[in-house]
Amino acid sequence: MMKPVYGNNISVDELNEINNYILVTMDEPWELLKPHVINDPSKIILNRSMDIAHLEQLYSSLKKTIEESYSIIGIGGGTSCDTAKYLSWRFKKDMGMDLDLILMPSIISVDAFLCSSIAVRSDNKVNYIGESTPKKIIIDYNLIQKAPKYLNRAGVSDTISITSALGDWKLAHSENNEPFDQKIFAQAITIAKDLMNARNEIKDVTRRGIKALVDGFVREVALCSQWGNARPEEGSEHFLAYCIESITHSHYIHGQIIGMDILISLYLQDDLAQFSIEEIRKFFHDIELNISPNSLSISSDILRSALKKIQTYVKKENLMYSIYNSPRLELNTPKIEETIRFITKI
Ligand SMILES: [Zn+2]
């Protein structure tokens, strides 16, 4: 896997050295970089939508002007990086063009800049299509530190989701005969613990904090690719988030909703949870990431609908076996109300 390059102001240096490039970004990071860039992009794409129809339109509009010498640069959060990945994949697939892809996250809120799979949306649902591998991943501390702190802190959740995903894995192994590997399992625990040990640096979004977040992502993505799927990192916490999104059609800060759902998963996994609720609750508290339903504007009614729907939802969507498939969990009305009381008091 591609190892990121770290440094101060290295995003500007890179842009000034590139030939022709198409820049996929957002207003905020581009406003910061623009005054220092003397080598202007051939085209700037400010994209906020990962809807597949919209991406296709973008691709078609670029098709006429693109040349083999162009690079595609993604600077921003998940949307900018995934859009850049999508375009590079599309140009390769349809036109056989191998354009250099360079990703520079301006915020460490999701692991999109490291994953080769491309997350797009159709009918409000996330689908993964295609793969593209960046030639370079650039971690510019100065740029990332200019983003709101809480968004960078929210980047912990796709790694810390290991803490609930591992309980699901154990369940899937014992109840559903799924393969299990003690070594991979132990490595996942170490990744989560290392992240928790960096909590003060993460809270302050220092250079070491950013490095810890990126390292967590790098190790988690490598571990999942070694194992062959996202089992060590993704489970019921993600599934409940998808279920809530399918009800509200809202876009939440991924780290916040996953954070809330990790605690719900640990609560429902009960004695099979691999981490204690208190340990994870304290971690979110210490890094000052608010994961309460209130902070997400998720009402008890929405939680109630989601918890009523989740067990059929995971089967209908063919999601991996988790606590929501387990006969151990009887998600009846009292249990749902108890869970809502638990999470609203967090
Ligand atoms: Zn995620």
How much distance in Å is there from the Cα of 237 to the middle of ligand 1? 9
Which of residues 124, 145, 166 is at a domain's end? 145
Q: Mean pLDDT over residues 275-296, rounded?
A: 97
Q: Per mean pLDDT, which of 1-15, 56-70, 310-324 is the most reliable?
A: 310-324
How much distance in Å is there from the Cα of 110 to the middle of ligand 1? 7
CA distance 223 to 270: 26
CATH of the domain at 35: 3.40.50.1970
pLDDT in tens, 212-271: 999 999 999 999 999 999 999 999 999 999 999 999 999 899 999 999 999 999 999 999
Same domain, 253 and 334: yes
Same domain, 190 and 271: yes
Enter the DSSP assignment of 109.
S
How much distance in Å is there from the Cα of 180 to the middle of ligand 1? 22
Determine contact, residues 137/103, Cβ cutoff 8 Å. yes
Positive or negative, the Cα torsion across 97, 105, 140, 258? negative
- Predicted pLDDT of residue 156: 96
Same domain, 132 and 177: no
How much distance in Å is there from the Cα of 49 to the middle of ligand 1? 18
Q: Which of 243, 280, 288, 286 is nearest to 262 (CA)?
A: 280
* CA distances, 129 to each of 80, 124, 217, 250, 267 (Å): 16, 15, 20, 22, 33
pLDDT at 299 over 90: yes
Which of residues 109, 127, 145 is at a domain's end? 145
Positive or negative, the Cα torsion across 85, 87, 92, 93? positive
Amino acid at 160: I
Domain count, the chain: 2
Same domain, 87 and 172: no
* Residue showing tokens 């070594």: 183
**Where are the alpha helices (H) located in the chain, listed in sequence order?**
10-17, 27-33, 52-63, 78-95, 141-145, 149-153, 157-160, 162-176, 182-197, 199-204, 207-227, 236-248, 254-269, 277-286, 300-316, 333-344
CA distance 156 to 305: 27
Mean pLDDT for the chain overall = 95
Structure tokens at 86: 């999508």
Same domain, 172 and 306: yes
How much distance in Å is there from the Cα of 241 to the middle of ligand 1? 9
CATH of the domain at 316: 1.20.1090.10
Angle (CA) 100-103-108 rounded to 5° is 170
CA–chain centroid gap for 127, Å, is 13
Same domain, 316 and 179: yes
pLDDT at 281 over 80: yes
pLDDT in tens, 96-155: 999 999 999 999 988 889 888 898 888 777 788 888 999 999 999 999 999 999 999 999
CA distance 174 to 176: 6
How much distance in Å is there from the Cα of 315 to the middle of ligand 1? 19
Determine contact, residues 106/144, Cβ cutoff 8 Å. yes
- Predicted pLDDT of residue 5: 96
How much distance in Å is there from the Cα of 66 to the middle of ligand 1? 32
Q: Mean pLDDT over residues 286-311, rounded?
A: 98
How much distance in Å is there from the Cα of 229 to the middle of ligand 1? 13
Same domain, 106 and 178: no
How much distance in Å is there from the Cα of 159 to the middle of ligand 1? 8
Domain region containing 288: 149-344
How much distance in Å is there from the Cα of 64 to the middle of ligand 1? 35
Determine contact, residues 144/107, Cβ cutoff 8 Å. yes
How much distance in Å is there from the Cα of 57 to the middle of ligand 1? 26
pLDDT in tens, 53-72: 999 999 999 998 899 999 99
How much distance in Å is there from the Cα of 103 to the middle of ligand 1? 19
How much distance in Å is there from the Cα of 21 to the middle of ligand 1? 29
Confidence tier at 297 by pLDDT (50, 70, 90): very high
How much distance in Å is there from the Cα of 325 to the middle of ligand 1? 20
- Predicted pLDDT of residue 255: 93
Pairing of strands 117-122, 125-131: antiparallel
Q: Mean pLDDT over residues 68-77, rounded?
A: 95
Structure tokens at 232: 């060590």
- Predicted pLDDT of residue 64: 86
Angle (CA) 308-294-51 rounded to 5° is 70
pLDDT in tens, 175-220: 999 999 999 999 999 999 999 999 999 999 999 999 999 999 999 9
- Predicted pLDDT of residue 343: 98
Same domain, 174 and 240: yes
Pairing of strands 100-105, 136-140: parallel
Same domain, 124 and 183: no
- Predicted pLDDT of residue 61: 93
Same domain, 123 and 194: no
CA distance 236 to 307: 12
Same domain, 26 and 170: no
**1 vs 91 pLDDT, higher one:** 91
**Which residues, by Cβ under 5 Å, contact ligand 1, an ion?**
158
Angle between helices 52-63 and 78-95 (to 10 degrees): 60
Determine contact, residues 162/192, Cβ cutoff 8 Å. yes
How much distance in Å is there from the Cα of 158 to the middle of ligand 1? 5
Same domain, 179 and 270: yes
- Predicted pLDDT of residue 109: 87
Give the percent of the chain with pLDDT over 90.
Answer: 90
Enter the DSSP assignment of 179.
-
Which of residues 123, 145, 167 is at a domain's end? 145
How much distance in Å is there from the Cα of 95 to the middle of ligand 1? 31
How much distance in Å is there from the Cα of 5 to the middle of ligand 1? 23
* CA distances, 158 to each of 10, 61, 219 (Å): 26, 33, 12
Beta-bridged to residue 118, according to DSSP, are 129
Positive or negative, the Cα torsion across 55, 89, 120, 30? negative
How much distance in Å is there from the Cα of 235 to the middle of ligand 1? 10
* Residue showing tokens 């989601």: 306
